[in-house]
Amino acid sequence: MRFVAVYAAVCCLVLPSGAGAQAESPLVYPSPPGTGAGAWAPAYEKARALASQMTLEEKVNITRGFAADNVCAGTTGSVPRLGWPGMCLHDAGNGVRATDLVNAYPSAIHVGASWDKNLTYLRGLYMGKEFKAKGVNVILGPNAGPLGRSPLGGRNWEGFGVDPYLSGQLNYESIIGHQEAGVIANIKHLIANEQETYRRPYFGVEAVSSNVDDKTLHEFYLWPFADSVRAGVASVMCSYQRINNTYGCMNSKMMNGVLKTELAFDGFVLLDWNAIHDVNSVNAGLDMVMPLGGSLGNNLTAAVSNGTVTEDRVTDMATRILAAWYLVGQDVDFPVPGFGIQNLTLPHEQVDARIPESKPILLEGAIAGHVLLKNENNALPFTQKLTMLSVFGYDATIPRTKNTDNLFQLGYTSSEEMGQAVLGTPERFDQAARGGTIVTGGRAGANAPAYIIDPLAAIQHRAAIDDTWVNWDVTSLTPDVNPASDACLVFINAIATEGWDRTGLHDDFSDGLVLSVASRCANTIVIVHAAGVRLVDQWIEHPNVTAAIIAHLPGQDSGTALVKLLYGEAGFSGKLPYTMAKNESDYNVYAPCGRGADNTTDPQCDFTEGVYLDYRAFDAHNITPRYEFGYGLSYTTFDYSALSISPRGTSRSAACQTLWDVAARVEVTVTNTGSAPGQEVAQLYVGIPNSPPKQLRGFEKVPLDPAQSAIIAFDLTRRDLSVWDVVAQDWDLQEGNYTVFVGASSRDVRLKDVLTISA
């Protein structure tokens, strides 16, 4: 017997079953109107009242983009007659893009490596306040897709990690923060948007079709979107590529069926910029077109006249947009849309969006996403004064230029190369951004920082305090090494950007630099700023490589954060939000899908691996990773004890149970058994019957002083323990034994017990 689900069932997806067959996405019509339930009720009451006063042309006007004096990524039409000002929509991932006097926050992959819910919320809150100060109504983030099906994904760094539970929890916190700040969050990209290669149609070639079965869709790719809707997210962005051979922004199954019916989403669906569409996409569930009206301008009015689209559908589109505006309080004391987003080369009013309260959050966030991989013989922290310190590597210094596209941070030499990259010439992509240190990835998710404290600058300032002699050579591939060096720091990076996918997970250029220094320095410490998975096996076991750090993308306080960690003024607490393999071939999904041997113009990408990705696949196939999902060292040690499981209605037939009811509470005691203060990320995994061996279902980060203990509680909901039943089109809590694992990583399991689900 199944428990009561929180949303209605809609017909399942269809994958190919015979030779030459293609995946199909069922048609789901009509588009369900927003209900305005729960927290949405007051906003819908106001939105319906305002929409009822609008003419058809006015309602159409607020659903499409217009050219504007500001440089917002998109600007909606307005309704001056009724005093509705329109909205500015703008990017996003690291902070407010294409403007001045804002901060560059740690990237999402860096935040994912922190595993810190509270820091994630605060980042979302203060970032949201900056967007509001600049007059941005809709922040085009956070990101639940891509999750990271391919470790080469060019936009993986814009998401929090490869696991849907981790992504869901941190997207939830981000959305709460953004919308409490008064801006509309926009979760993207719906759905299975897992590669940049052929993400859009080019020169007669269709965009790739992500062919995903119904079970995988619900248990993996939809999971963080469901968390986002539960957080009250006010807008969702549909994706460029096809899902089961229907374009994302024309896919009625995804927008009408899954999002608006199953998840009961009451906000508006936003088109990714210039994603393929026609007027029928409105019937498929699309509510807003960007950046300009295109075929949904006058054509939408005409479509109502000829009966292709009902006026009720247009009214629902407008109502959803207005309700989102009211939901976050933009009807009260909100700046003129886009007034702080002006062309910086023209005279403009300066709007300083930064607030003092954000500064400690920026630095703490930068510190928290660093992951210590290796620390032989306590090479770190530097507890004694260093007489001589040597610094090598292109990533140690500030980029040679600063502009809103961060071209040199991406390894580009011109905007022309950027354009060629977007059009699909991956051979032009450089694995390393050799122009300087990276604090973000590239394109829409990036922004221009207020400043960059690069690693070498921060080291120099510390050296001035300690009277340390610093050698540096940040250009040579085989630099001279002074044998008197107490330590040698080697800085390399791995860059990624929107527009195309990475070509590999290491590069000979950077690895050769590390080996050159390590061959002549007995205390070589490697720091890798990385936009995703970066393999380290060419040098990680070298006896002279005593320590290694994955520094991810820390934002503008990069160097300051690193020096605090190197000198023990802060402790490492980051954990990997993905698996680092020993070899590329260890990943069951590695390269993005292409056009195949026959160079088809209709590329198909079959997600045949289902939910078995990253650590789930490594566990299922018994592959030993170099560093597992959830791994990260600390300057102290932690002990786990006293695991207990308290069932709460753990029967399949429990009456009136919903997905979000707690089925069991798990508690564990964590103790700092070392000599230094530290923060531990306690992780809970569950072995669900007929599923991967372990799936993340809880994590909590706790600060502890030496000898201090804390009891950590994890609530397991019925959703956490359920699987998707394709036939019943419902979640199913299976009868049987569920192994509960608690520990410091997906493989460093300290305690385990069994939870039994009865009939």
Q: What is the 3-state secondary structure (H, E, C) of 175-237?
A: HHHHHHCCCEEEEEEECCCCCCCCCCCECCECCCEEECCHHHHHHHHCHHHHHHHHCCCCEEE
Terminal CA-CA length for the chain:
8
pLDDT at 12 over 90: no
Instruction: Report domain 636-757's class.
Output: mainly beta
What is residue 487's three-state secondary structure?
strand
Query: Of 297, 304, 298, 258, whose CA–CA distance to 283 is shortest?
Result: 304
What amino acid occupies position 368? A
The structural domains of the chain, with segments of one domain joined by +, span 359-578, 636-757
Kindly report, residue by residue over 407-426, the tens digit of the pLDDT. 433 433 333 333 333 333 33
pLDDT-derived band of residue 655, with 50, 70 and 90 as boundaries?
A: low
Q: What distance in Å separates the CA atoms of residue 8 and residue 718, rounded to the nearest whole number? A: 17
Q: How does the average pLDDT of the chain come out, rounded?
A: 92
Res 343: pLDDT: 87
pLDDT-derived band of residue 69, with 50, 70 and 90 as boundaries?
A: confident
- Residues 586, 372, 636, 714: is their CA dihedral positive or negative? negative
Residue 355's CB: how many other CB atoms inside 10 A? 12
Backbone φ and ψ for 179, nearest 5 degrees, come out as -80, -25
pLDDT at 403 over 60: no
What amino acid occupies position 244? N
pLDDT at 613 over 70: yes
What amino acid occupies position 471? N
Kindly report, residue by residue over 558-571, the tens digit of the pLDDT. 999 999 999 999 99
23 to each of 27, 242, 255, how far by Cα in Å?
13, 11, 18
What is residue 715's three-state secondary structure?
strand
359-578 domain in CATH 3.40.50.620?
Answer: no
Q: What distance in Å separates the CA atoms of residue 665 and residue 685, rounded to the nearest whole number? A: 13
State which of 52-56, 413-417, 442-446 shows the largest mean pLDDT. 52-56
Average pLDDT value for residue range 132-156: 97
Q: Which range, of 341-350, 413-422, 730-739, averages the lowest pLDDT?
A: 413-422
Share of the chain above pLDDT 70, in %: 92
Q: Active site includes 100?
A: no
What is residue 684's three-state secondary structure?
strand
Kindly report, residue by residue over 181-197, the tens digit of the pLDDT. 999 999 999 999 999 99
pLDDT at 1 over 60: no
DSSP result, 603-652: -EEE-TTTT--THHHHHHTTPPPSB-TT--B-SS-EEEEEEEEEESS-BT
Res 20: pLDDT: 60
pLDDT-derived band of residue 348, with 50, 70 and 90 as boundaries?
A: confident
Beta strand pairing status for 235-238 and 268-270?
A: parallel
What amino acid occupies position 85? P
Partners of 639 in the beta sheet?
Answer: 671
Average pLDDT value for residue range 102-128: 98
Res 297: pLDDT: 64
Res 294: pLDDT: 64
Average pLDDT value for residue range 40-54: 98
Kindly report, residue by residue over 233-246, the tens digit of the pLDDT. 999 999 999 999 99
Q: Which residues contact 662 (CB under 8 A, 6 or more apart)?
A: 648, 715, 716, 717, 718
Selecting among 163, 227, 266, 272, the annotated active-site residue is: 272
Q: What distance in Å separates the CA atoms of residue 436 and residue 408, rounded to the nearest whole number? A: 7
- 370 close to 562: Cβ distance less than 8 angstroms: yes
Q: What distance in Å separates the CA atoms of residue 542 and residue 68, rounded to the nearest whole number? A: 57
pLDDT at 64 over 60: yes
Query: Of 205, 259, 215, 169, whose CA–CA distance to 577 is shortest?
Result: 169
Strands (E) in 621-735, as ranges, are: 638-647, 662-672, 678-687, 695-704, 709-717, 723-725, 730-732
Res 277: pLDDT: 77
pLDDT at 56 over 80: yes
Res 486: pLDDT: 98
pLDDT at 9 over 50: no
pLDDT at 553 over 70: yes
Kindly report, residue by residue over 299-317, the tens digit of the pLDDT. 899 999 999 999 999 999 9
